[in-house]
Structure 1
Amino acid sequence: MREALAYFRAKYESALGDHMHPSNPLRASLKKVEFRFREAERLKELQDNINTSTARLTLVIILQAQKVARVNNATMRERMHQITEILAKQSDDMQYQMLIQKEQSAGLRELMLEVCAMGDRVKLQEENDHLMITELQESSATLESLGKRVSALFLLLADVRDIETRHRYFAGPDPTFQKPIIFEDALGFVLEIPLKWIRSWN
């Protein structure tokens, strides 16, 4: 078709020249056919360009998607690795804290046992101190009573010694008064002897 049109134009266009104006049906048909062929070529070229651009764009999108996927996979792996490290560290920290709490609990338990034992010892010591205080009070009361008895005994001994060492004055009986003779021993006992007994041999 294209060759026929070219042959037709080469053969008749120079002959027609300016006589072939738009009102000429043959020239108008030729123009329309030529326009259609040109539009078809342009459309085909545009379609080829679009197909080529689409293929290139598709390839670029695929490459970019692969790159993004690799980046995302690497980022995801890195983040997962970081999260794994953080979780492992937290697990180690938790185990360490649990170990410390266990040791502290054991220490507190031992301390409580020591405090309880100390309380028992203090209670026993208080009971012993109370018994000792009671015994001391009783001993003090006994010593006080014994001291009073010793003091009374010393006073009695002092009185006895005073009586024993006291000077005695004796005088002969006076028959005028007819008074009995009084004898007093060292212990203070008094004995009255009538005067007539002394004068009587009986």
Structure 2
Amino acid sequence: STYFETEDEPEDGLRRKGYSKDHRPDLPQVVIGLAVTRDGIPVRCWTWPGNTADMSKVEEVKQDLIGWRLGRVITVVDRGFASESNLRILQRAGGHYIAGEKMTSGKPTVEAALARPGRFRDLRPNLKVKEVVVGDGEARVRYVLAFNPEEAKRDAARREAMLRELRMELERLKELQGEAHTKAHCRLASHPTF
């Protein structure tokens, strides 16, 4: 998405307020899609109203590219686009895709990929990768697991800080009684981090 900075901000046609990846929900924007060659040269462009959920446009883009005779098309999407229905759309007619996946998603294929033994290969000092194939036939999914030792250290430090904070919250909870205890317990139990 890209936003407009104007003195008068009427929403009209394509200019609409929507989810802003630029952290500017106060300004009207448009959503832009590009299909590019391997070298980054655009072959097709789309523009949608600013309140369009971009993940809802996967099927439209796939349909629009059918008549282009582009040879092998590989669609690259981030994890926001990687719903099961979108991935099925991308697989139609032998389509290929690369999708970011949250490894803590709890999906059975992700769990199977993480549990699969094998060695990581060093690509760079801060990047190790391992290829894992899960499933058989058409249901087969290929994962490329990436591991960054530096990021793992930062994650471990963040987890330790969260655990310290959680322990302190649990100690405070012991000091409360009655309705105050119940409210604090509910707040803690529903906290997105804990």
The TM-score, its normalising length taken from structure 1, stands at: 0.18
Q: 1 or 2, which has the higher helix percentage? A: 1
Relative CO higher for 1 or 2, CA cutoff 8 Å, sep ≥ 6? 2
Structure label with greater radius of gyration = 1
